[in-house]
């Protein structure tokens, strides 16, 4: 097996494990939606980055962008929940 193919195979496995871990931790429950979003976004971003870039740099960039986007979406969800909680007097 050529070095490039071996590296690609390792990165694909790592990205899959990353997504699997994110799904596991999301299912097992983080403290808030922002954390869930960051984990899930990182996993999806890693897979997308690997698929698009086909190298380590693409995977890392995808992971970072996915984590940031997932956190932003989850954080907004947390804010909405807090607003609803306060407006309902709970």
Residue 2 has pLDDT above 60, yes or no: yes
Average pLDDT (30-34) is 85
pTM over 0.75: no
Give the residue from 8, 19, 77 showing the smallest Cα distance to 45.
Answer: 19
Task: Single out the residue of 39, 25, 36, 48 nearest to residue 76, CA to CA.
Answer: 36
pLDDT digit string, tens, across residues 49-87:
988 998 889 989 999 999 999 999 999 999 999 999 888
Cβ within 8 Å of residue 71, ≥6 positions away: 34, 35, 37, 38, 41
């Amino acid at each position: 097996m050529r070095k490039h193919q071996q590296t690609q195979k390792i990165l694909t496995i790592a990205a899959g494990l990353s997504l699997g871990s994110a799904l596991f931790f999301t299912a097992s429950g983080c403290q808030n939606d922002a954390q869930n979003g960051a984990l899930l976004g990182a996993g999806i971003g890693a897979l997308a980055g690997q698929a698009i870039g086909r190298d380590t740099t693409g995977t890392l960039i995808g992971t970072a962008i996915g984590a940031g986007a997932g956190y932003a979406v989850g954080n907004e969800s947390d804010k909405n929940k807090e607003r609803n909680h306060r407006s309902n007097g709970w």
